[in-house]
Chains A and B, each alone.
Chain A
């Protein structure tokens, strides 16, 4: 075709990544209610634990690492369902799939935006909740570190489940069933790192494992999610 009218430079993946990230952050900012949802859930459950179980600081301290981790995991799970849902409903997911961009980076941008508005606030709120559960002093730094790395893996793994269930009207329960087993190793290593730190043991091993999970998830989860999205939109 000798047509100069259609001058089309090759699209840049970096520009696409930034456009996607900006749009999702802007959308989260416009839906502030949804944005606060996981965080409020996190706060509410942790506030109720001393009321419902026991206000004894020593008892709470032994409970704190596991409790904070379990609730953070559930809060993250709660927010996963909406990751691709609205895009699917209004047709932008279709536009995303036919944009001349590698889908891997687009999914990664969406997950990053999701993590920035769920995992990151959860991590930042965790020390406050640690105080409420009388978390011993040595536990704060490990708690933040493990949550920072762990929630990133949670978002990435959750994206695969969200992509698999996006075409289903009532995919919420199925989503939990699919990704819960994959969340369990992260929970085990995250919570045990915090308890170990409180007891004065080394935590490098657990941190390294969590880091390895995150590294593997960053490489593989977007590929799996992209494949699942193609299948979902195909039907």
Chain B
């Protein structure tokens, strides 16, 4: 990161997202403090931490869904709230819930997603569904699909829209082994192509070159002190 001018505006060379001194509180309880990180093209960043340490909260803050934070988030060097729609246009977020309508077919679900976004598709919807192993299920209502298949419908969006920033919350949940392998390859290709992946997972990844942010390192001081005092193993 490079500070260039006196006004406190930070000009950054190639970074996509800059997180500066980010803190998040939930119900009076501080989840993490002083998180500073630069997300550049080509990065795959895994957010680590035990349950309840604020992984999902961090991802939701980065998408702009949750505004309950202190600190700055910059999108290409500018506060991400100044050009919110431009930021969102370059973002793909898959949350805990797949965001798939059960009474619609996979094709209809993806059609809606592309309509809501720029509508520019890299490959046809049918091909994207084939990529995630749902060939032949294009027109099956989603309530006939299993949990893993539902998640795959959501994951098909990764093939569809060419957004540089992917924020994935537990993308491997309910996905079988070969599916995980394929997804890892996809993440690598995305990073190699200049994209940026920010994700959480409890799964052991076989990926090379993954940056890790452990939220335990950003726990508030008081909590660390309490844990030592009470003899809790951190």
Query: CB-CB < 8 A to A9: which residues of B?
Result: 118-120
B contact residues, total (Cβ < 8 Å): 46
**Nearest chain A CB to B192's CB is how many angstroms away?**
10
Query: CB-CB < 8 A to A101: which residues of B?
Result: 85, 116
Judged by a CB distance under 8 angstroms, whether B182 is at the interface is no
A contact residues, total (Cβ < 8 Å): 39
Interface string of A174-207 (1 = CB under 8 A from B): 0000000000000000000000000000000000
Contact, CB under 8 Å: B85 / A90: no
Query: CB-CB < 8 A to B161: which residues of A?
Result: 8
Interface string of B100-111 (1 = CB under 8 A from A): 111110001001
Query: CB-CB < 8 A to B120: which residues of A?
Result: 7-9
Contact of A90 among B16, B76, B100, B114 (CB under 8 A): B100
Contact of B119 among A1, A12, A92, A95 (CB under 8 A): A12
Contact, CB under 8 Å: B103 / A99: no
Contact of B65 among A6, A16, A30, A98 (CB under 8 A): A98
Please provide the chain B residues from 102 to 156 with a CB less than 8 Å away from any CB of chain A in the complex.
Answer: 102-104, 108, 111-120, 141
Q: A94 to B59, alpha carbons, bound, how many Å?
A: 12
**Nearest chain B CB to A15's CB is how many angstroms away?**
5
Please provide the chain A residues from 13 to 30 with a CB less than 8 Å away from any CB of chain B in the complex.
Answer: 15-16, 18-20, 22-23, 26-27, 30
Which B residues are closer than 8 A to A by beta carbons? 14, 16, 41, 63-68, 76, 85-86, 88-91, 93, 95-104, 108, 111-120, 141, 161-164, 193-195
14 further interface pairs, Cβ-Cβ under 8 Å (given A26-B108, A30-B141, A99-B88)? A3-B41, A3-B164, A6-B162, A11-B85, A15-B115, A16-B115, A27-B101, A90-B97, A92-B101, A95-B93, A98-B88, A100-B85, A100-B86, A101-B116
